[in-house]
Amino acid sequence: MALLQRLLTLLVLGRGWAAPSCLLGPTCPPGSVCPTGSSRPLPCPVGRFVPTPGSVGYGDCLACTPGFYCNASGLSAPSGPCAPGYYCPSGSTSATAVTCPSGNYCPGAAPAPVPCSPGTYQNTTGSSSCSPCLQGFRCPTSGLASYLPCLPGHFCPGSTISTENPCPAGRYSPSTQLTSASQCLPCPPGKYCAGTANTAPTAPCAPGFACFGGASAATPADNVTGQACAPGAFCPSGSTRALPCPAGSYCATSQLTNTSGFCDAGYICYGSATRSAPTDGVTGIRVPAGFWSASGDVSPTPCPVGRFAPSPGNPSPSSCLLCTPGFYCASTGLSGPTAPCTSGYYCPSGTIAPTLLCPPGSQCPQQAATAMPCPAGTYQDLYGQALCKTCPQGYFCAGSGNTGFALCPPGAYCPSNTTFANQFPCPSGTFSNLTGLVTAAECTPCPPSQYCLGVGQTQPTASCWPGWVLLQWGFDKPNAAVRVMPSWKVLPVCEFAASVVRSGNVHGGDGEHERVGVCAMPGRAVLPRVGSGGHDREQPV
């Protein structure tokens, strides 16, 4: 055996091929192997290389480095890097050994395909890079050959992985494939969108608040997306705005979900009132004079015709008073009567217009509340008269309410305005059997030799006593020398005569008329005394 090995060595060396260093001959070059006794170097096969000299067997040939290719035999190094879009596993013999699959990329010298990272994708083969995920889509995992639609409640501007771009608070989106936050919908009025990534509004706005739009809380208070309801308004759940307190009601505090109640009787709330009895003229008023209102009324009610209300703040129809007697109330909504009743008419309480004509026997001056009966001494025979007429001369108007007059009776006289039949009797010493006398002068004096006892006589009372003569009425002093003495004795007969004559005298005579006498004053008389020489004498009786 030793001899055989010796012979082989000599043969190889004799030919000049490389041999192991321990033997004679040149060293086996890189890219080849020289087994023991080799007469020449043996090249490493395609797909392999050996970078160092002195390799003795094919086992020393290395598989081509991953990411590189070895496309020839006898290589001491790889031929070159793998081409972009391809990958070269160990022992590759071509720069385009394996086409890069979709969902991956293969840069130059790729030993294996590289999965596209999240946020990228590759839908073709043979690519040396991945593409950013498209706008409106997401690429949530690595190695994707396609992209997925952006989720509801999110937006995907590009290169989006998954849910890193949620719709912000106050916005939402039920749709897919949004590309920007601006495409997220503002939360609608009356609702709020709490947190992020909302696919629908969270819930209605809280009671007592209004959500204008874009609200991120149930009780917004920024006055941009919403606010608490202020006094004068109310907000039920889901309010899109503060609802002004309606006419007839008031809203006293903030964050109300309903009105506080009806406004007070006697007041009108126009709207947005914060008090039950507003007086500012903007949100409400106190009901003016001439009107009234019940609780909750939205406008004042005028007092009807025939009534008025002198003061403001009237709470009921009973506040409207009946028109004052003597006046009329012609229209609605009066704070006082229209005017005094017209002359010739009378206006009882509650009169609408002066239509009640004053009847005969009555008088109705301006502002008459009732027809006033004509007083005694007057009359009225016509309708619609302001004043009664004076009873005419020669007539009398007895009692009240006369529509005409009566003829003055015998024994009396009647000047104008006479109030009863015998108001003015003919005086003592006179009489009258006629009607319609006007003055006392028209009464007839008692004739000579008769007397008229008392007033109101319709004829002489009787004849004088024998021996006495009564002069006619008006025969005052036939003899101016005769004086009336207050101390003269009163004769009984002259008491009758006193009803006739106011003054008198005594006549002297020839004895035939010795007893002739005349009453001098009422209740007084003198006896005759005959004087010498035919002259009268007088002496108290």
Q: Please state, in angstroms and as integers, the Cα–Cα distance from residue 503 to each residue in 260, 462, 467, 477, 531, following that order.
A: 101, 21, 19, 7, 21
Rounded Cα–Cα distance for residues 131 and 138 (Å): 12
What SS3 string covers 315-336?
A: CCHHHCEECCCCEECCCCCCCC
- What is d(CA 317, CA 325) in angstroms, rounded to the nearest whole number? 19
> What local confidence, expressed as pLDDT, does residue 447 receive?
84
Give the chain's count of helices (H) and strands (E): 2, 46
How is residue 69 annotated by DSSP? E
Is 429 in contact with 452 (CB distance < 8 Å)? yes
Closest CA to 210 of 231, 172, 250, 237: 237
> Residue 36: its pLDDT value, please?
87
Chain mean position to CA 25? 122
Give the pLDDT confidence score for residue 25 in this predicted structure.
75
Strands 261-262 and 267-269 come out as unpaired
Question: Length of the chain, please?
Answer: 541
Residues 6+ away with beta carbon under 8 Å from 153: 166, 167, 172, 173, 196, 197, 198, 199
At 92, list the tokens.
């590759």
Pairing of strands 444-445, 62-63: unpaired
Looking at residue 38, what is its pLDDT?
Answer: 83
Mean pLDDT by 10 residues, the chain (541 residues): 41 39 74 90 96 92 96 96 97 96 96 97 96 96 96 96 96 96 96 97 97 96 95 97 96 96 97 96 97 97 98 97 98 97 97 97 97 97 97 97 97 97 94 96 87 91 60 32 35 38 35 37 37 34 30
Is residue 273 within 8 Å of residue 250, measured between CB atoms? Answer: yes
Degrees to nearest 5, angle at CA 109 with 105 and 112: 50
Q: Which of 511, 496, 406 is nearest to 451 (CA)?
A: 496
Predicted local confidence at residue 37, as pLDDT: 84
| Whole-angstrom distance, CA of residue 471 vs CA of residue 453 | 14
Geometric angle at alpha carbon 39, from 33 and 32, rounded to 5°: 15
Closest to 195 in 3D by CA, of 149, 203, 177: 203
Backbone φ, ψ for residue 43 (5° rounding): -65, 145
Buried b (16+ CB within 10 A) or exposed e, 212-236: bbbbbbbbbeeeebbbbbbbbbbbb
Q: Let me know if 122 is exposed, middle or buried by CB neighbors in 10 A (0-12, 13-18, 19+).
A: buried
**Ramachandran region of residue 344, left (φ > 0), alpha (ψ -120 to 50) or beta?**
left
Residue 1's CB is within 10 A of a number of other CB atoms, namely 5
pLDDT recorded at residue 524: 35
Q: Quote the pTM value.
A: 0.61
3-class SS string, 214-248: CCCCCCCCCCCCEEECCCCEECCCCECCCEECCCC
